[in-house]
Amino acid sequence: MFPLLSQEIPPMTRRGYPSDLTDEQWAILAPLIPPPHEGCRPRQVDMREVIDAILYLLRTGCAWRYLPNDLPPYRTVYYHFAKWRKCGVWRKIHDKLHERVRELKGRRATPSAAIIDSQSVKTTEKGGLRAAMTLARRLKDVSAILSSTPLD
């Protein structure tokens, strides 16, 4: 039969996905997630679940609307994703993880030097383009002169 309204229905437990954060990974990311604004109502969604949903979406390549029902609603997930992108949270997360990888490899957290390859630096193409146009214009002028003069 139907459960009585006064009885509590246990919450559905979510099965884990391969893209979910481990406890160790969450311990690194949790301090980087901005707290709710003062004076606003408390969050009703677990930020770890939001991150797990974003990672699921990135790993599978699905559309926002196709997030599984056991993850937070896609509008909530997208709201936090877009807000964090605008506020620079993703940049902070990237920088923190990059520093951590460098330290694990025995390097300093931030690089002390950079290399710029001269082959990959863009330059203006005005000189080359102008020379080609000038040559074409000269050839056009020469051919116009030759065609207007009668040949004997």
- Assigned domain for 12 exists: no
Please check whether residue 145 lies inside any domain of the structure.
Answer: no
119 in a domain, yes or no?
Answer: no
Taking a C-beta distance cutoff of 8 angstroms, is the pair 66, 39 a contact? no
Residue 63, phi then psi, degrees to nearest 5: -80, 160
Query: Are 19 and 59 in contact, with CB atoms under 8 Å apart?
Result: yes
Most confident of 17-31, 97-111, 112-126, 138-152: 17-31
**Residue 14, in any domain of the structure:** no
Classify residue 91: in a domain, yes or no: yes
pLDDT score of 31: 94
Please calculate the CA angle 30-33-36 and round it to the nearest 5 degrees.
Answer: 120
| Tens-place pLDDT, residues 62-121 | 999 999 999 999 999 999 999 999 999 999 999 999 999 999 999 888 877 777 776 765
Residue 123 lies in a domain: no
- Let me know if residue 127 belongs to a domain: no
What confidence tier does 14 reach under pLDDT thresholds 50, 70, 90?
Answer: confident
Q: What is the pLDDT of residues 117-135, one digit of tens each?
A: 767 656 666 555 555 556 6
Give me the domain span that covers residue 63: 23-104
Q: Note the Cα 139 to chain centre separation in Å.
A: 50
pLDDT reported for residue 4: 47
Q: Does 69 fall in a domain?
A: yes
Domains held by the chain: number: 1
